[in-house]
Amino acid sequence: MTSAADFDVLIAGAGLVGLALAPALTDAGLAVALLDRVPLAVPEPDPESWDTRIYAISPGSAAYLRSLGAWQALAADRIAPVESMRVAGDAGGMLDFSAWDLGERALAWIVEERALKAALAPLVHAAGVTTIAPCGFARLTFTADNGRLDLDDGRAVTARLVVGADGVRSWVRAAAGIHALARPYGQTAVVANFACARAHHGRAHQWFCPDGGILAWLPLPGRRISIVWSAPEPLAEELMALDVTTLAERVAAAGDHVLGALACITPPAAFPLQFLRLPAMIAHRLALVGDAAHGVHPLAGQGVNLGFGDAEALAAVLRARGPVADAGAPLLLERYARRREEPVRAMQTVTDSLARLFGIAAPWVRSTRNYGMTAIDRLPFAKRLLAQSAFR
């Protein structure tokens, strides 16, 4: 490579969203470079273990991944459909959702991160995307016509459009001067996988806890589940300090033992939770996607789906650019921002409002919110609208 390589689009960050965006852009006739600080490797399948990081892939995201050719590459025996979901309030409220009611095969599919990466990475190579990884990001600058990313080994990459896909602590976002103060939820997501004594029958569970925390159980293939416990920080520290046997007992008890005894099959991991809303997802010759563009509470499991929605929207806008040859043209970036504004804001508003509402301990608030849950459950039309927004 010469000291400066030129492309139509430079994607900084080869996480799931960056991987899903790159081949879609080459299919749109653009020269694409994908850069990351770590090597772009295809994870080896391991039938004897399970990935701690799992995602609830919505029907819309599955359709996008299928259009890329990634969904077909996933092993069927490593995917679990969420066919129903029961949401329990902290004082008797109850909501039940069913894929059947929505006319869908599943509300979502539970897939391991490593499986998604293993399905997407070969598509990046097959599409002819230029990959530069590992590499260190040193400096990002913009001119009227280009963005330029200088690497710490002296190389540089220029492109008409720079896409920040480098996660919640985005270096690209900060280097471009887009600042927003993330608001901590005061919660940490504790995640782990468990074997369970009883069959889950494709049902997910979610409990809003009296302490303001939220516990979700998601079905894995066989008699296994993955859990996300959005716990107040002191409780999260306590849970992470437990041995795996005691942790399994705590998780089973918190879920009313609905699946019987649990046994931990992966070490727990913890991720601090925060809300992030930016003033804009775009700037001069810059677009942000995925967690670099927005942060949401995981209670609806929609973080990665919003990211795939970003990738799909940006690829669609650039594919339909017509006579506009410049991938970083303001007209195209504004189209992308408009297309994503409503779904991102709507999901942020719903998840943030629910997390904050169930964090209020006042008895009258607790009674009202639980009554509201039960009332919605008895109104098929209202429940359908809520489900369509949560599982689209």
User: Distance (Å, rounded) from C-alpha 42 to C-alpha 119?
Assistant: 8
Give the global pTM: 0.92
Digitized pLDDT (tens) for each residue of the chain, 392 residues in all: 445 679 999 999 999 999 999 999 999 999 999 999 999 988 788 888 999 999 999 999 999 999 999 999 999 999 999 999 999 887 778 788 889 888 889 999 999 999 999 999 999 999 999 999 999 999 999 999 999 999 999 999 999 999 999 999 999 999 999 988 888 999 999 999 999 999 999 999 999 998 889 999 999 999 999 999 999 999 999 999 999 999 999 999 999 999 999 999 999 999 999 999 999 999 999 999 999 999 988 876 788 999 999 999 999 999 999 999 999 999 999 999 999 999 999 888 888 877 777 777 777 677 777 767 666 666 665 556 565 565 66
Residue range(s) occupied by CATH 3.30.9.10 in the chain = 54-112+184-273+360-390
Q: Does an H or E element contain 96, and which?
A: strand 94-98
CATH domain 54-112+184-273+360-390 topology: D-Amino Acid Oxidase; Chain A, domain 2 (3.30.9)
- CATH class (in words) of the domain with range 4-40+116-181+275-355: alpha beta
Cβ contact 160:326 at 8 Å: yes
Fill in the DSSP letter of residue 368. H
Residue range(s) occupied by CATH 3.50.50.60 in the chain = 4-40+116-181+275-355
Q: Does an H or E element contain 335, and which?
A: helix 330-357
* Burial (CB count <10 Å: 0-12, 13-18, 19+), residue 22: buried
Identify the residue whose tokens are 């700037």.
Answer: 283
Fill in the DSSP letter of residue 68. H
User: Distance (Å, rounded) from C-alpha 2 to C-alpha 140?
Assistant: 18
